[in-house]
Amino acid sequence: MSEATAITWSGKSEAMFEIMLGEVPEAMRGVFRGKLSAVIAQKAQGGAATEDHVSAVVTEIVPEPFKSAILKKFKELGDFDIKVIDHIIEKQGKSQDKLMYILHDIQDEVGYLPVEALRAVSNKTGINLSTIYNVATFYKTFKLTRPGSHHVKICCGTACHINDKSGVARQVEARVSASPAVSMEKTLCMGCCDCSPAIEIDGRIYTGEEAKAKIETLA
């Protein structure tokens, strides 16, 4: 097993490195730890290894589908890149009528609305933080806590309610509650009434029994 090159980590770079290694089969992880840490050390050129260094190694060396999976996990790491907020505000504008566009974009980018993001939006737009928080908590589409690695939405529309005679939605709810990696929300009617009971998993809608089967592959 290769010795990992000693590296000084900065920011989230060490956590990112471990995520990258997590994609390598366990039997080979030791070897790859050595190889990859050497590549990162080379990039860092004696200085601290940054998040950008680790991201660059993933982008340059790691093949698909591992690359996309790792990059996705990097995004979910917690905190957010403040540059994302700047870019979004530059695209959308600073007036209050642009606020929901900004919040939608942040949630699309980060997966949810970190409170730090709301603070940053307030600083950069001049809109009162309490106003932003008011909007972020009034509209149910916005999440203020990070969803799980998988996110399930259970439709609470009329058709799904009355067509679910065998209680599939309740079964899915119980199954998901037992899985820490899977978050769940009950939503307003999703408008797919002929698929009732409709359950959305990771952005794709399934009909009841198929959703049950899909859930088993996640948790």
Partner 1 sequence: MKIQKAEDLVQAKELGNKTLFPGKVRINVGMSTCCIAKGADIVLNALVYGLKSRGIDAEVAKVGCNGLCHIEPVVEIQHPGKAKIIYGNVKEADVTRLLDALASGSVVDDLAFARIDAEDNVLVGEIKYQYSGDAGAYATVKSVQDIDFIKAQQKIILRNAGSINPESINEYIARGGYEALVKAVSKKPDDIIKDVIDAGLRGRGGGGFPAGLKWKACREATGTEKYLICNVSEGEPGIGMHRSFLESDPHSVLEGLIIGGYAIGAQTAYVYIRDNYRLALTRFQKAIDDAKEVGLLGDNILGSGFNMTVKVKEGGGRFVCGEETALIACIEGRIGEPCQRPPFPVQKGLFGKPTCINNVETWANVPLIIAKGSSWYKSIGSEGSKGTKVLSLTGNVARPGMVEVAMGTTLKDVVEVIGGGVAGGKKLKGIQTGGPSGGVLPAKLDITVDYDALKAAGSMLGSGGMVIMDEDTDMVKVAQYFTDFFVQESCGKCVPCREGVCRMRAMLDEIIAGRGTAHDLSLLEEMSEPIISASACALGKTAPVPILSSLKHFRNDYTAYLK
7 binds partner 1 (CB under 8 A): no
Residue whose CB is less far from partner 1, 84 or 100: 100
Residue whose CB is less far from partner 1, 71 or 135: 135
Q: Smallest distance from the beta carbon of 134 to partner 1, in angstroms?
A: 6
Integer angstrom CA distances of residue 163 from 168, 183, 208: 10, 24, 10
How far is it, in rounded angstroms, from Cα 100 to Cα 136? 8
Q: Smallest distance from the beta carbon of 197 to partner 1, in angstroms?
A: 11
Give me the torsion for CA of 83, 86, 91, 92, rounded to 10°: 130
Q: Smallest distance from the beta carbon of 51 to partner 1, in angstroms?
A: 30
31 binds partner 1 (CB under 8 A): no
The candidate with the shortest Cα–Cα distance to 157, out of 197, 209, 120, 129, is: 197
How far is it, in rounded angstroms, from Cα 67 to Cα 174? 33
Give start and end residues of each alpha helix (H) in the chain: 13-22, 26-44, 51-61, 66-75, 82-92, 99-110, 115-125, 129-138, 158-163, 168-177, 208-218
Within positions 176 to 215, which residues make up the interface with partner 1, using CB under 8 A? 187-196, 198, 200, 203-207
55 binds partner 1 (CB under 8 A): no
Residue whose token pair is 């990696």: 181
The contact mask relative to partner 1 for 118-157 (x = CB under 8 A, - = no) is ----------------xx--xxxxx----------x--xx
Residue whose CB is less far from partner 1, 19 or 195: 195
Residues near partner 1 (CB under 8 A) are: 95-101, 104, 134-135, 138-142, 153, 156-159, 161-163, 165, 187-196, 198, 200, 203-207
